């Protein structure tokens, strides 16, 4: 694995080259890789839902949690379903004098070390929930896509829905999302996460992966596109997978996210200096998300189909 430096000065642009695996990936199996920090209140629901949806293993990169995140994770799905990796480092590129994004580095580590164990790996966050829109499990859908190596999943953005404090359960309480996930007029609303065949990955980063050394991507229907075409509504038409992003769940969480800063910042001081800018960005984006909404109960319909029970 080696670092790829783009022309951008932002650490978000750093990517990693990865040599393709010489070992064939299994025909089945899905792991989700996620970086977590002090997510004790939300991790159990996230893990239990995705295990019920068909995820085989969770690779948790613990970014220095000081609460009961890991204990709650083990209680939720059991030790056997988890790989827990301490991930509290902060690394900077000495030549460019910038942070190497901690989440991007974690995802590259997951590809480099665990790709031989799974046919599929997904890279999402703890506030994102992945589900099939028609199938009864993620495995059922993905097994029907043997020719696919790289699925891009657009965010479906959910806001606060009037909550001052975050309810214990996310899914039954958030049923309205931003109407148009492909709206390019609002910065940050249109973005993507990935499911990939890890043995075919040749470049990694947080919001996009290169596979097979080329620009070919697929939607969740198994249709082939070229990178760049994923930003069109046609890419998402009749999607068989959906990724719900519960961006900010309450007024209280808005303050928490502002104080927490970005996991890409190399020091607390850097995060603190950017607090006012981050607060402005979060508030502005949130107001746009909540401005024009539509009811979306797709994930609740899926829960009903599989008989998922809340704690």
Per-residue pLDDT reduced to its tens digit, 138-151: 999 999 999 999 99
Q: How many domains does the chain have?
A: 1
Cβ neighbours for 94, distance < 8 A, ≥ 6 positions apart: none
Range of the domain at 202: 2-306
d(CA 290, CA 60) in angstroms, rounded, equals 31
264 domain-assigned: yes
What is the three-class DSSP state of 94? coil
> Which residue from 63, 2, 10 is spatially nearest to 37, judged by alpha carbons?
63
50 domain-assigned: yes
311 domain-assigned: no
Q: What is the DSSP string of 201-215?
A: EEEE-SS--EETTB-
Q: For residue 140, what pLDDT is reported?
A: 96
Q: For residue 7, what pLDDT is reported?
A: 40
d(CA 58, CA 89) in angstroms, rounded, equals 20
253 DSSP assignment: H
pTM: 0.90
- Triad 229, 8, 284: Cα angle to 5°: 70
183 domain-assigned: yes
d(CA 26, CA 43) in angstroms, rounded, equals 28
- List beta partners, residue 151: 195, 218
Q: How confident is the chain (311 residues) per 10-residue block, as mean pLDDT?
A: 42 70 83 96 97 98 96 98 94 80 90 94 96 97 96 94 96 95 77 94 88 95 92 87 96 86 49 68 89 95 93 66
> Which residue from 308, 103, 292, 298 is spatially nearest to 220, judged by alpha carbons?
298
271 domain-assigned: yes
Q: For residue 135, what pLDDT is reported?
A: 97
Q: Are 175 and 297 in contact (CB under 8 A)?
A: yes
Joined tokens for residue 260 = 């927490």
Mean pLDDT computed over every residue of the chain: 88
d(CA 75, CA 287) in angstroms, rounded, equals 36
162 domain-assigned: yes
Q: For residue 190, what pLDDT is reported?
A: 81
> Which residue from 54, 29, 73, 76 is spatially nearest to 241, judged by alpha carbons?
54
Q: Are 271 and 262 in contact (CB under 8 A)?
A: yes
Q: For residue 267, what pLDDT is reported?
A: 46
d(CA 89, CA 96) in angstroms, rounded, equals 18
Q: In the chain, what percentage of residues exceed pLDDT 90?
A: 64
């Amino acid at each position: 694995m080696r670092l790829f430096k783009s022309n951008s000065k932002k650490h978000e642009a750093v990517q990693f080259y990865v040599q393709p695996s010489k070992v064939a990936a299994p025909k089945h199996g899905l792991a989700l890789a996620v970086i977590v920090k002090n997510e004790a209140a939300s991790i159990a629901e996230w893990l239990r839902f995705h295990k019920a949806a068909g995820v085989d293993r969770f690779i948790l990169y613990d970014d220095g949690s000081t609460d009961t995140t890991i204990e709650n994770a083990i209680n939720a799905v059991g030790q056997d379903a988890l790989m827990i990796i301490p991930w509290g480092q902060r690394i900077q590129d000495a030549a460019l004098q910038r942070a190497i994004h901690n989440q991007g580095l974690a995802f590259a580590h997951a590809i480099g070390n665990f790709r031989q164990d799974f046919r599929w790996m997904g890279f999402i966050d703890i506030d994102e929930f992945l589900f099939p829109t028609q199938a009864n499990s993620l495995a059922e859908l993905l097994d029907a896509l043997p020719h696919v190596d790289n699925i891009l999943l657009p965010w479906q953005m959910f806001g606060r829905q009037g909550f001052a404090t975050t309810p214990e359960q996310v899914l039954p309480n958030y049923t309205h999302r931003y109407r148009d996930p492909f709206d390019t007029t609002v910065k940050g609303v249109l973005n993507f996460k990935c499911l990939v065949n890890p043995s075919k990955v040749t470049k990694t980063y947080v919001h996009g992966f290169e596979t097979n050394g080329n620009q070919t991507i697929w939607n969740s229907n198994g249709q082939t596109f070229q990178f760049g075409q994923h930003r069109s509504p046609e890419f998402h038409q009749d999607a068989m997978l959906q990724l719900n992003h519960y961006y900010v769940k309450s007024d209280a969480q808005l303050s928490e996210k502002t104080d927490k800063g970005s996991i890409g910042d190399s020091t607390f001081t850097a995060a603190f200096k950017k607090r006012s800018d981050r607060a402005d960005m979060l508030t502005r984006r949130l107001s746009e998300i909540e401005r024009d909404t539509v009811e979306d109960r797709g994930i609740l319909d899926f829960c009903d189909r599989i008989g998922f029970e809340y704690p």
